C-alpha cells in the first residue's frame, strides 16, 4: 500500500496538506426531500418538480402508508410505493432496501397510474432485493394489534407497515431476494412466519397454499425489476449522476425522534436516507424540508396548535385535507415553529419549500406558534414525551392576512405584501432560506423565490 504523495506523519496523522480524497468525497452529492411536519406537506409535488432534471429518484423508507400526489395538467397521479419521479421518462426510479413492499399493492398502484397515462415504468424501475415484503397477514395483524390497544390505539393506517418492520427487526422477515431464490426455502420461511403470528394471534387465518401460489406468480412479475441497488447507486454517484431522494412520512413521525408512540415504524428523518439506500453521510448535499403553510396531522397524537373551531374546518375544506391512503380527514392547525426547529435540528435543512400558501388566502389574520412554555418558562427543545407535551403552553404571534387570491402568482414580488411578510416571518424564525412556495396543486403552481 502506498500513500500519494508520500509525506510525514505526526501523532499518527498525515501532515500532507493535499491529502488524497476518498472516493465518497469525490462522488456526487444527493438531494434529499423530507417532510418537516407530520406528513402530507406536498413532498410528491416537490419531487416531481425536481425530478425533471435528475437521473435517479429513490424512495428510502416507509411503505404503502405514504401517499404522494402529483398533478400534471388534468391528471392526478397518486404514489404509495413508487417514487414520485417515476413519471419522468428520462430517469431511473429506485425503491430502496429500507422500504417495506406489499407486492400486490405495488402492482395495483402501477395499474392505477397506467390508467392515468403512466408508461414505460418497467424500463426504469429498480427494486432493491434487500427490501422486506409486507404480506396480507401483516396487514391483518396491524388491525388486530390496534384492536388490542383499544383506547390507546395510535391510528395506524393498517397497511401492515409496523408488523413488517417488526418482522425485520426480529430477524424472521422475508426479503425480495428470498422470494427470488429457491422457492422451497421461501415457502418454508413463509410458513414459519405465519405460524409465528398465529401463536401470537390464534384468530389469524391464512390460506397458506393459496398465498404460496400467489407469490410464485408475483416472484416472476418482480424478478425483472429486482437488483442489488447499493452498487447501482454508488456507481451513479461515482459518475456524478443527479440523484434525488424522496422521504416518505415526515420528521415528526420518525420512530426515534417524532411524537412517540404516535409515529410510523421507520426513520423518516435524514438518517433513514443512509440506512435505507446504503449511501454514506458524506454523499448528502442539499436537504429540502417541505413545510405546509399551516400544520396538519392524520390519526391520534399530540397536536399543540390544532384548531377545532371554524377556522380548522375551513382549512380542512379549502385544503382538501383527506388522506389518499386512509381517506381520513386530517386535523388542521396553525404553523408551529418549535416543531419546525426540532426537525430542522435533526435533518439539517439547507432549503425549505412552503406549500399550500393559497389555502390561507381567505383568512383576515393568521397565527404562528413561536414558543413553548413549561411552568411559565420558555423551553428551547421539543419535549420527548406526550405527558410533557400535554403540560406545554404555546406562545403565538398574530399577523394580518392578505384576503386576496395567490393562485395565479408566479413571482414572489407579486405576492400580496402580507403574504410576503408571512413567508419572511417563517424564514426568520426557522433560520433556513425558503427556496420555493406552492400556491396550487399543479407542478406549474410553484414560485421560485431565488
222-255 residue pLDDT tens:
999 999 999 999 999 999 999 999 999 999 999 9
Q: How far apart are CA 69 and CA 420, in angstroms?
A: 26
Q: How far apart are CA 222 and CA 298, in angstroms?
A: 32
Q: Which domain holds residue 309?
A: 30-130+228-448
Q: Given the C-alpha cell 385535507, which residue does it identify?
A: 321
Q: What pLDDT score was predicted for residue 418? A: 97
- Residue 157 is assigned to a ligand binding site: yes
Q: With 50 as the cut, is the pLDDT of residue 146 above it?
A: yes
Q: With 70 as the cut, is the pLDDT of residue 19 above it?
A: no
Query: Of the given ranges (13-17, 47-51, 142-146, 385-389), which has the lowest mean pLDDT?
Result: 13-17
- Residue 124 is assigned to a ligand binding site: no
CB 20 within 8 A of CB 276: no
CA distances from 39 to 75, 134, 199, 406 (A): 22, 21, 35, 23
Q: Where are the beta strands (DSSP E) in 293-337?
A: 295-297, 331-333, 335-336
In this predicted model, which residue has the larger pLDDT, 117 or 341? 341
Task: Clarify whether residues 81 and 213 are in a common domain.
Answer: no
Task: Clarify whether residues 49 and 197 are in a common domain.
Answer: no
Task: Clarify whether residues 214 and 241 are in a common domain.
Answer: no
Task: Clarify whether residues 68 and 175 are in a common domain.
Answer: no
Taking alpha carbons only, the member of 101, 83, 102, 103 closest to residue 93 is 83
Q: Is residue 25 part of a domain?
A: no
CB 241 within 8 A of CB 51: no
Q: Is residue 364 part of a domain?
A: yes
Task: Clarify whether residues 324 and 428 are in a common domain.
Answer: yes
Task: Clarify whether residues 82 and 203 are in a common domain.
Answer: no
Task: Clarify whether residues 238 and 381 are in a common domain.
Answer: yes
- Residue 59 is assigned to a ligand binding site: no
Q: What pLDDT score was predicted for residue 228? A: 97
The whole-chain average pLDDT of the chain stands at 91
- Residue 150 is assigned to a ligand binding site: no
Give the CA count within 13 Å in the CB-facing half-sphere of 229: 31
Task: Clarify whether residues 121 and 155 are in a common domain.
Answer: no
- Residue 264 is assigned to a ligand binding site: yes
Confidence of residue 309 (pLDDT cuts 50, 70, 90): very high
Task: Clarify whether residues 194 and 140 are in a common domain.
Answer: yes
Q: How far apart are CA 363 and CA 137, in angstroms?
A: 46
Domain boundary residue among 198, 224, 250?
224
- Residue 62 is assigned to a ligand binding site: no
CB 76 within 8 A of CB 69: yes
Q: Is residue 70 part of a domain?
A: yes
Q: Is residue 13 part of a domain?
A: no
Task: Clarify whether residues 46 and 68 are in a common domain.
Answer: yes
Q: Is residue 20 part of a domain?
A: no
What is the grid cell recorded at 153?
390505539
- Residue 358 is assigned to a ligand binding site: yes
Q: What is the CATH number of the domain that holds 164?
A: 1.10.300.10
- Residue 52 is assigned to a ligand binding site: no
CB 63 within 8 A of CB 83: no
- Residue 329 is assigned to a ligand binding site: yes
- Residue 325 is assigned to a ligand binding site: yes
Confidence of residue 5 (pLDDT cuts 50, 70, 90): very low
Taking alpha carbons only, the member of 272, 299, 369 closest to residue 38 is 299
What is the grid cell recorded at 259?
411524537
CB 236 within 8 A of CB 49: no
Q: What is the CATH number of the domain that holds 300?
A: 3.90.170.10
Residues taking part in catalysis: 40, 68, 168
Taking alpha carbons only, the member of 152, 136, 164 closest to residue 63 is 164
Domain boundary residue among 189, 224, 259?
224
Provide the number of structural domains found in the chain.
2
Task: Clarify whether residues 121 and 208 are in a common domain.
Answer: no
Task: Clarify whether residues 301 and 318 are in a common domain.
Answer: yes
Q: Is residue 18 part of a domain?
A: no
Q: What pLDDT score was predicted for residue 65? A: 80
Opening angle at CA 139, ends 135 and 143, nearest 5: 160
Domain boundary residue among 191, 224, 257?
224
Q: Is residue 8 part of a domain?
A: no
Q: Is residue 21 part of a domain?
A: no
Q: What pLDDT score was predicted for residue 335? A: 98
Taking alpha carbons only, the member of 134, 129, 412, 167 closest to residue 278 is 129
Q: How far apart are CA 303 and CA 306, in angstroms?
A: 6
Q: Beta 377-379 vs 132-133: how paired, if at all?
A: unpaired
Q: What pLDDT score was predicted for residue 325? A: 62
Query: Of the given ranges (23-32, 50-59, 92-101), which has the lowest mean pLDDT?
Result: 23-32
Amino acid at each position: 500500500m502506498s500513500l500519494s504523495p508520500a509525506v510525514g506523519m505526526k501523532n499518527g496523522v498525515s501532515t500532507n496538506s493535499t491529502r488524497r480524497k476518498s472516493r465518497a468525497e469525490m462522488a456526487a452529492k444527493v438531494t434529499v426531500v423530507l417532510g418537516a411536519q407530520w406528513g402530507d406537506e406536498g413532498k410528491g409535488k416537490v419531487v416531481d418538480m425536481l425530478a425533471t432534471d435528475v437521473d435517479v429518484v429513490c424512495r428510502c423508507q416507509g411503505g404503502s402508508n405514504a401517499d404522494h400526489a402529483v398533478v400534471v395538467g388534468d391528471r392526478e397521479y397518486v404514489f404509495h410505493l413508487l417514487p414520485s419521479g417515476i413519471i419522468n421518462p428520462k430517469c431511473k426510479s429506485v425503491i430502496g432496501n429500507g422500504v417495506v413492499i406489499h407486492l400486490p399493492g405495488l402492482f395495483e398502484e402501477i395499474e392505477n397510474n397506467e390508467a392515468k397515462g403512466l408508461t414505460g415504468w418497467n424500463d426504469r424501475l429498480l427494486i432493491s432485493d434487500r427490501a422486506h415484503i409486507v404480506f396480507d397477514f401483516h396487514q391483518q395483524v396491524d388491525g388486530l394489534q390496534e384492536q388490542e390497544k383499544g383506547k390507546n390505539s395510535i391510528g395506524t393506517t393498517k397497511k401492515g407497515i409496523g408488523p413488517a418492520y417488526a418482522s425485520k427487526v426480529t430477524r424472521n422477515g422475508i426479503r425480495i431476494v428470498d422470494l427470488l431464490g429457491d422457492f422451497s426455502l421461501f415457502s418454508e420461511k413463509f410458513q414459519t412466519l405465519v405460524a409465528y403470528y398465529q401463536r401470537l394471534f390464534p384468530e389469524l387465518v391464512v390460506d397458506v397454499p393459496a398465498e404460496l401460489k400467489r407469490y410464485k406468480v408475483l416472484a416472476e412479475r418482480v424478478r425483472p425489476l429486482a437488483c442489488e441497488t447499493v452498487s447501482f447507486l454508488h456507481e451513479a454517484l461515482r459518475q456524478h449522476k443527479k440523484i434525488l431522494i424522496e422521504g416518505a412520512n415526515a420528521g415528526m413521525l420518525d420512530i426515534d425522534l417524532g411524537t412517540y408512540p404516535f409515529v410510523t415504524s421507520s426513520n423518516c428523518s435524514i438518517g433513514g436516507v443512509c440506512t435505507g439506500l446504503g449511501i454514506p453521510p458524506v454523499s448528502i448535499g442539499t436537504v429540502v424540508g417541505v413545510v405546509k403553510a399551516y400544520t396538519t396531522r392524520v390519526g391520534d397524537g399530540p397536536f399543540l396548535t390544532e384548531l377545532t373551531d371554524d377556522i380548522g374546518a375551513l382549512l380542512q375544506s379549502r385544503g382538501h385535507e383527506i388522506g389518499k391512503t386512509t381517506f381520513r380527514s386530517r386535523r388542521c392547525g396553525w404553523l408551529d415553529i418549535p416543531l419546525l426547529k426540532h426537525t430542522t435540528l435533526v435533518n439539517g435543512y439547507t432549503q425549505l419549500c412552503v406549500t399550500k400558501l393559497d389555502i390561507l388566502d381567505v383568512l383576515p389574520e393568521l397565527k404562528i406558534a413561536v414558543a413553548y412554555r413549561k411552568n411559565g418558562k420558555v423551553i428551547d427543545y421539543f419535549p420527548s414525551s406526550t405527558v410533557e407535551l400535554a403540560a406545554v403552553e404555546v406562545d403565538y404571534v398574530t399577523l394580518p392576512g392578505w384576503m386576496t387570491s395567490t393562485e395565479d402568482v408566479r413571482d414572489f414580488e407579486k405576492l400580496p405584501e402580507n403574504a410576503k411578510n408571512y413567508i419572511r416571518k417563517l424564514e426568520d424564525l426557522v433560520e433556513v432560506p425558503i427556496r420555493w412556495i406552492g400556491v396550487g396543486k399543479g407542478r406549474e403552481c410553484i414560485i421560485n423565490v431565488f
